[in-house]
């Protein structure tokens, strides 16, 4: 165990945070949050920054593994750790692996040794998934940014949509991702177990699983992110022997805790939110969770992103 982990008396503090652009989030105080929360591991999504433009010092004294992807100004996933990871795996060709005060690019093997599900190959260079093996704990941690998707063609009504109808193309693309990612999760979890490691996948899944996971569920049943087939998929990846929704198990009867609110109107002030950012953990790791939830800021003006960090303490 690292000295920092020992500081928490055996508790490993792990966070996931969709920063919606690290440069904008830094201007709002990301590095202060990072210092204050003293996390041992942080998974980031939507970093949305080319490697040469990453802000100086924004990740403080953490080791950084970062897949920026090849879509300019979009996506990008990272994992911050206190110690250099034993291994880093991605779906694309290159990952920035950086120690504090140093910088170099390493080519990482695709996750699962190149056995990437065929449906995921079209997403391989988009910066959507990154996996690391921790050095100081028998744990594999993954950061995920799942496609937002859209509506199926039969639900698209011109004039009632914020975006131009696309014939269901974004919906079909997300569904292809879900089919491939379900198989990938099984393979990644089994690979971790075969190496004596627990498995934790965190990030922005862009799906609210149950009615408890969004405030306006009645009016959102035909909205992307709460479609019946999306929710059924989410249920299919959970199980007593597979993956556990850690924060839901810590707050079984609660609405929320929500992790995303629109910037528009009074969504944040009225807590009209969605819970779409998750910790999904292998069974033994899930049972070790002692506390967790979202770091909801006290006011709209104090927000770092349209998402809030989701932080869990694991007593290992």
What's the pLDDT tens digit per position in 147-182? 999 999 999 988 777 788 999 999 999 999 999 999
Closest by CA position to 126, among listed 152, 93, 154: 93
- Residues written for the chain: 316
Q: What is the pLDDT of residue 196?
A: 98
pLDDT tens digits for range 70-90: 998 899 999 999 999 999 999
Which pair of structure tokens corresponds to residue 84?
Answer: 């250099």
Q: How many domains does the chain contain in total?
A: 1
Query: Quick check: pTM over 0.85?
Result: yes
Residue 288 sits in a domain of what CATH number?
Answer: 3.60.10.10
* Alpha-helical regions (H) of the chain: 3-7, 22-28, 30-37, 169-194, 228-237, 246-250, 283-287
Helix, strand or coil, per DSSP, at residue 282: coil
Helix, strand or coil, per DSSP, at residue 281: strand
Q: What is the pLDDT of residue 212?
A: 98
Which pair of structure tokens corresponds to residue 165?
Answer: 């109808």
pLDDT tens digits for range 39-51: 999 999 999 999 9
Q: What is the pLDDT of residue 155?
A: 92
Q: How many CB atoms lie within 10 A of CB 187?
A: 15
Q: Match 């807590």 to its residue by tokens.
A: 271
Helix, strand or coil, per DSSP, at residue 149: coil
Closest by CA position to 133, among listed 88, 97, 179, 74: 88
Q: Match 């940014």 to its residue by tokens.
A: 145
* pLDDT at residue 13 is higher than 80: yes
Q: Are strands 41-45 and 11-18 parallel, antiparallel or unpaired?
A: parallel
Longest alpha-carbon distance in the chain: 57
Which pair of structure tokens corresponds to residue 11?
Answer: 């508790």
* pLDDT at residue 127 is higher than 50: yes
HEC per residue, the chain: CCHHHHHCCCEEEEEEEECCCHHHHHHHCHHHHHHHHCCCEEEEECCCCCHHHCCCCCCCCCEEEEECCCCCCCCCEEEEECCCCCEEEECCCCEEEECCCCCEEECCCEHHHHCCCHHHHHHCCCCCEEEEECCCCCEEEEEEECCCCCCCHHHCCCCCCCCCCCCCHHHHHHHHHHHHHHHHHHHHHHHHHHCCCEEEEEEECCCCCCHHHECCCHHHCCCCCCCHHHHHHHHHHCCCCCCEEHHHHHCCCCCCCCCECCCCCCCCCCCCCECCEEEEECHHHHHCEEEEEECCCCCHHHCCCCECCEEEEEEC
Domain membership of residue 63 as a residue range: 3-315
């Amino acid at each position: 165990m690292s000295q920092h982990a020992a500081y928490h008396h055996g508790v490993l503090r792990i966070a996931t945070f969709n920063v919606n652009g690290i440069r904008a989030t830094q201007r709002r105080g990301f590095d202060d949050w990072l210092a204050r929360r003293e996390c041992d591991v942080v998974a980031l999504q939507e970093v949305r920054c080319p490697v040469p433009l990453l802000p100086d010092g924004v990740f403080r004294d953490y080791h950084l593994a970062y897949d920026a992807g090849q879509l300019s100004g979009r996506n990008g996933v990272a994992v911050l750790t206190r110690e250099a990871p034993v291994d880093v795996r991605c779906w694309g060709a290159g990952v920035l692996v950086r120690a504090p005060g140093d910088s170099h690019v390493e080519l990482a093997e695709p996750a699962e040794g190149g056995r990437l599900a065929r449906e995921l190959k079209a997403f391989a260079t988009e910066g959507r998934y990154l996996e690391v093996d921790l050095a100081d704990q028998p744990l594999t941690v993954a950061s995920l940014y799942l496609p937002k998707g859209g509506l199926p063609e039969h639900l698209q009504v011109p004039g009632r949509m914020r975006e131009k109808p696309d014939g269901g193309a974004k919906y079909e693309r997300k569904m292809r991702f879900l089919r491939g990612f379900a198989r990938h999760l099984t393979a990644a979890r089994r690979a971790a177990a075969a190496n004596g490691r627990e498995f934790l996948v965190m990030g922005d899944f862009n799906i609210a699983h149950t009615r408890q996971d969004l405030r306006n569920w009645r009016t959102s049943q035909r909205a992307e992110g709460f479609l019946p087939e999306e929710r059924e998929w989410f249920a299919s990846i959970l199980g007593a022997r597979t993956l556990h929704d850690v924060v839901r198990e810590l707050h079984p009867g609660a609405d929320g805790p929500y992790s995303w609110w629109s910037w528009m109107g009074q969504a944040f002030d009225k807590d009209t939110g969605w819970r779409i950012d998750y910790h999904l953990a292998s069974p033994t790791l899930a049972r070790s969770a002692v506390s967790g939830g979202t770091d909801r800021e006290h006011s709209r003006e104090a927000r770092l992103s349209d998402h809030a960090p989701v932080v869990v303490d694991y007593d290992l």
